[in-house]
Each structure stands twice: as structure tokens, then as C-alpha cells.
């Protein structure tokens, strides 16, 4: 699936839901939401890499400055909540790389507000959209990194774990048998490709009852997809100060 580079002002993202992304993050009224944008195309792309058919990003109830500062010590360092809702699996044999689940991120707005307020000096303005975009961007990126890790490397079935260990053992043994340590990694990747091809043929027999496979060099533990996500998030921001954004939700 291809996505255009779409940067959408947060003023147009209120209660946004296009089926792939649901966004309902509340910022204080004094923050100019027209000046802050969400890179919607990158968010969708990362969600697909993470094996999520849909992602929802919400925030806790809005709070005022005094409440945020008073609650700072209690919530300092608290992570945003992440949840993955799995599709009903009528076939318990399906490997994890065929499962496309739903992700939910709930941003800890108490910590977000407090961090912005505490790091704004007397010479600066708390309404500066750059302050809010920076903190919101880092919070969402951290949460997506975590939800991707959980989706791609956790919750692996016993069959999936055995399958991954078998590929590692067989590929490693073939590489070592060749007499060169340099052949171990290529051998493991080769056995992995054969293993996944056989798995695709097996699952193909169930037709539309299961979804497409998430392509990966590795079975079950899709570390390569996780590395791609980390690479994208390292060099691309999800929330930025708006410069060239679309001007209507219909343009998405």
C-alpha cells in the first residue's frame, strides 16, 4: 500500500478516523493546533511494518497547568499505555506473522503537560507550538517503538518458537558443516526462506480465512521489521511544527 507524504494540522485531526488511524489527542486550548502537524502517511506506513491493521492514539482527560505541575512528581517517568487487541483466531495454528492486530496508545497527558511547563523558562512562552510538538513527537515515537516491539517479538506461540529455533539450529549446523563461520548467517537466512516458503504454501490452502503474511527474513521473531521501524523513527518525526500541511481533511 502506497501513501503520499501527508502532513495534517492537528486542528483537522480532532476525532479523526479513516479506518487505518484513529486520532483523538487533546491539547490545551491555548496551543495553536493549526501550527502543529501529524505526519499521517509515516504513521500508517509504520503501523503496517509493525503488523497493525489499525492504530488508535488517544489521550487522557485534559488538565490545567496547576494540576499538571501538582501531579508531576507522581507521574514523572510514567509511560504511555499501549494495548494490542488481537483478532479472533479461529485457526489456532496460524503463525504470528499472519496476524494483523489493532494497536491502542493512550498518551499520559499529565506527564506531557508537566514536562512542557517545567521546561519552559520565564523568557519563553508556554504557548509556543514547538514546545508541544517536540514533547508530543517524542512521546508518540517512544510508544510506537514499544508497541512495535511487543507486536513483532512477543506473544509468539509455542509452535512459532519451536519453528524459529529449528531454523536457527538447522541453518547454523549447515553453515558450520561447510567449515567456515562466514557461512553461518547466509545458511540461516537460506533455511529461513525455505521454511517461510513452505509455510506460505501450507497457509495458502486456507484461502481467505487468513490474512497475508508479513514478509520478513526471519520466522516468528521479526527483528528485521523492528529495525526498519526504528530506522524510520530515528530520522523522521511524526509530529512537527506545521509548514507545508494540507488544508482540509478531504485532501487526506
Where exactly are the structural domains of the chain? 7-155+225-251, 158-220
**Are the C-beta atoms of 208 and 227 separated by less than 8 Å?**
no
What pLDDT, on a 0 to 100 scale, did the predictor assign at position 222? 87
Position of cell 508531576? 72
What pLDDT, on a 0 to 100 scale, did the predictor assign at position 163? 76
208-226 confidence digits (pLDDT tens): 445 677 777 778 888 889 9
DSSP for residue 179: T
What pLDDT, on a 0 to 100 scale, did the predictor assign at position 1? 47
Give the residue among 115, 84, 124, 104 at the shortest CA–CA distance from 25: 104
What pLDDT, on a 0 to 100 scale, did the predictor assign at position 248? 41
Largest CA-CA distance found in the chain, in angstroms, rounded: 68
What pLDDT, on a 0 to 100 scale, did the predictor assign at position 155? 72
What pLDDT, on a 0 to 100 scale, did the predictor assign at position 208? 45
> Alpha-carbon distance 111 to 96, whole Å?
34
Average pLDDT, the chain: 77
What pLDDT, on a 0 to 100 scale, did the predictor assign at position 170? 82
178-189 confidence digits (pLDDT tens): 777 777 777 877
Grid cell at residue 66: 496547576
What pLDDT, on a 0 to 100 scale, did the predictor assign at position 122? 60
3-state secondary structure of 169: helix
pLDDT along the chain (252 residues), means of 10: 69 90 87 90 93 89 58 53 66 68 85 74 71 89 92 80 80 78 78 73 54 77 91 93 54 50
* % pLDDT > 90, the chain: 23
DSSP for residue 80: P
What pLDDT, on a 0 to 100 scale, did the predictor assign at position 202? 61
What pLDDT, on a 0 to 100 scale, did the predictor assign at position 206? 55
Q: Count how many residues are written for the chain.
A: 252
Amino acid at each position: 500500500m502506497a501513501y503520499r507524504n501527508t502532513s495534517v494540522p492537528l486542528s483537522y485531526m480532532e476525532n479523526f478516523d479513516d479506518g487505518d488511524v484513529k486520532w483523538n489527542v487533546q491539547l490545551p486550548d491555548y496551543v495553536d493546533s493549526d501550527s502543529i502537524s501529524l505526519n499521517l502517511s509515516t504513521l500508517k506506513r509504520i503501523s503496517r511494518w509493525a503488523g497493525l491493521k489499525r492504530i488508535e492514539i488517544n489521550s487522557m482527560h485534559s488538565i490545567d497547568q496547576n494540576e499538571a505541575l501538582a501531579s508531576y512528581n507522581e507521574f514523572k517517568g510514567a509511560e504511555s499505555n499501549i494495548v494490542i487487541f488481537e483478532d479472533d483466531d479461529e485457526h489456532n495454528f496460524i503463525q504470528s506473522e499472519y496476524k494483523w492486530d489493532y494497536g491502542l496508545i493512550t498518551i499520559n497527558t499529565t506527564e506531557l503537560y508537566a514536562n512542557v511547563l517545567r521546561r519552559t523558562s520565564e523568557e519563553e512562552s508556554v504557548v509556543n507550538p514547538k514546545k508541544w510538538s517536540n514533547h508530543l513527537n517524542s512521546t508518540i515515537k517512544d510508544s510506537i517503538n514499544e508497541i512495535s516491539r511487543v507486536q513483532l517479538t512477543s506473544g509468539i506461540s509455542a509452535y512459532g518458537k519451536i519453528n524459529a529455533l529449528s531454523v536457527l539450529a538447522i541453518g547454523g549446523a549447515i553453515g558450520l558443516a561447510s567449515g567456515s563461520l562466514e557461512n553461518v548467517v547466509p545458511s540461516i537466512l537460506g533455511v529461513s526462506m525455505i521454511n517461510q516458503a513452505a509455510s506460505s504454501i501450507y497457509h495458502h490452502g486456507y484461502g481467505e480465512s487468513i490474512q497475508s503474511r508479513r514478509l520478513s527474513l526471519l520466522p516468528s521473531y521479526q527483528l528485521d521489521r523492528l529495525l526498519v521501524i526504528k530506522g524510520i523513527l530515528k530520522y523522521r518525526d511524526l509530529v512537527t511544527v506545521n509548514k507545508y500541511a494540507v488544508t482540509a481533511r478531504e485532501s487526506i
